[in-house]
Amino acid sequence: MPKQKTHKGLKKRVKVTASGKVKHKRPGCGHLMSGKNAKRKRRLNNPSVMTKTTARTAKIQLGN
């Protein structure tokens, strides 16, 4: 049976930590930042950890 190929688009967007959690950039901070207040922009600037079910799918696509 052939090997599972790595999903290259997902590989560029997420990182698997040493403990196995999947970190990603929060959505909503690519453009139109002038309409968002400073508190919201600070919160969006920090990376987030995927939920357990979403992380499971991401790990399968990454081949981990």
Rounded Cα distance, 55 and 7, in Å: 14
| Residue 15: strand pairing partners | 23
Residue 3: predicted pLDDT: 87
Are the C-beta atoms of residues 25 and 13 closer than 8 Å to each other?
yes
Per-residue pLDDT of the chain (64 residues; tens, 9 = 90+): 888 899 999 999 999 999 999 999 999 999 999 999 999 999 999 999 999 999 999 999 999 8
* Structural domains of the chain in order of their starting residue, each with its CATH number: 8-62 (4.10.410.60)
